[in-house]
Amino acid sequence: MSIAENIKPAMQQSAKTKDLVLGLGKTGLSVARYLTRNDIDAIYVDTRDEPPGVEELCTINPTAEIFLGEISEKVLKGISRIIASPGITDSHPFLAAAHSNGIEVISDIQLFVAEADAPLVAVTGSNGKSTVTTLLNLMCDSAGKSSLAGANLGVPALDLLIKDKPDFYILELSSFQLKRTQDLPVMVAVLLNISSDHLDWHTTEQEYRKAKYHIFSGAESAVFNRGDADAVAHFPRDIRSLSFGLDEPDGDGYGLRNDAGDVFLSYGSKSLLSVTDLNVVGIHNQANCLAALAAGHLMNLDLSSMLAVLSEFSGLPHRMQIVGRYRGVLFINDSKATNVAAAIASISSIQGRVVLIAGGQGKGGDFDHLAKSTSEYLRAVVLIGEDAPALESAFNGLIPIKRASGLAEAVNFAVKLSKTGDTVLLAPACASYDQYEGYQERGDHFTREVEALLS
């Protein structure tokens, strides 16, 4: 059957009870593989007229019914449940119609937890979850335990089920996935931090927080940030828990403590590793390391193996990634700083003045808070993308501002504005989708522009 034969008019209705997969991105295709493996009948819907992934879907399931473009509610006839891709909001008219018709809307994670038969470790937070998920995966390997990591990071969760059963599944979970997952029986739940983010998806910050707190709902044990009073108030008291924070730990917790003039990652009163022996940049990465240690503790991983990983780990691409130095100015790619809190953490972790490159799609972020929190660290700001005007309004009168047409021009402006000893930092505080396929493509572009200076 040709692709054209698979694609149905969006007005056509389903003939019998079946699942509906909404969105043909990476997650949607992983759902298609799962459903096909399990002989579960489904139709596939995408609101775009020409979405990527259609050809791959037809390879996965040559007889799949595919509906593209503007969707009629008639497609919902005979649908038992919708498995929605994370980026599609509940306010979308199609999902709103599904809810009003009593049709269950779930995530791919709901399917995953029903089948996974190894202990689950779940990691969420506004910032740092990819780093902590990666650290835990490396710590398992160092300690002689097998693990598979994925979900919001890297491999979609359902594709992990194709591989041999590990000792642990380690899942990075977004607020979108958590909100649409009813059952979450995890061995260890890790909540790193919560800051205002994704308010273009969630209606309020409290709704966003509620989705994040759902990670504790079925947990056997929990790791939480004791610096977030609201989070402390929401984690369950009847399960084993460990806290982490950037203060000195009190008793059964992880934190930082001064010892003989040095600062150490510590467990209670025990110093574990000097922060000077870490191979990552910034105090926010120290917090990530502490959270990973706490989670590994609850997973019963060997402490010496975990510390060995922390002394070697150099960070993930696009997360405070050092690109190079040009005429005495350091260039750092933190394209993954897609919200205000992440950008503030990155800027405040740098020694010396910063020329900031920021902008993109703001997702409802508080740019006034960004400007007031960081202007003392900044020499100048160079703005790009869709929400550059809003950022300019926030920074106006605080520091010098330049508007650039794109990253190539932004890097050139940043070079002219910087002085010896400064850092040029790409920490956009915004999503990238106005100009790029994702933060990775944006970070790669920045890296190429800087490397061109160095050549």
Q: Which residues face 329 on adjacent strands? A: 326
* Alpha carbons 2 and 303: distance in angstroms, whole number: 55
The phi, psi pair for 58, rounded to 5°, reads -70, -25
Predicted model pTM: 0.82
Q: Which residues face 434 on adjacent strands? A: none
Pairing of strands 7-8, 270-274: unpaired
Q: Which residues are known to be catalytic? A: 129, 152, 198
Helix axes 340-348, 283-298, angle to 10 degrees: 110
Residue 305: pLDDT band with limits 50, 70, 90: very high
* Alpha carbons 137 and 75: distance in angstroms, whole number: 41
Give the burial string for 68-106 (b: 16+ CB within 10 Å, else e). Answer: beebeeebbeebebbbbbbebebeeebbeebeeeeeebb
Written as one letter, the residue type at 121 is V
Is a pLDDT exceeding 80 seen at residue 144? Answer: yes
Q: Give the pair of three-digit tokens for residue 48.
A: 């775009």
pLDDT tens, 151-193? Answer: 988 899 999 999 999 999 999 998 889 999 999 999 999 999 9
Is a pLDDT exceeding 60 seen at residue 15? Answer: no
Q: Give the pair of three-digit tokens for residue 419.
A: 């002085």
Is a pLDDT exceeding 90 seen at residue 231? Answer: no
Q: Which residues face 7 on adjacent strands? A: 66
CB 403 within 8 A of CB 383: yes
Q: What domains are there in the chain, each with its CATH number?
A: 3-106 (3.40.50.720), 111-312 (3.40.1190.10), 321-454 (3.90.190.20)
Residue 357: pLDDT band with limits 50, 70, 90: very high
pLDDT tens, 70-95? Answer: 878 888 999 999 999 988 888 888 88
Residue 2: per-residue pLDDT: 46
Is a pLDDT exceeding 60 seen at residue 3? Answer: no
* Alpha carbons 113 and 355: distance in angstroms, whole number: 44
* Alpha carbons 389 and 344: distance in angstroms, whole number: 19
Q: Give the pair of three-digit tokens for residue 413.
A: 């402006």
Percent of the chain with pLDDT over 90: 74
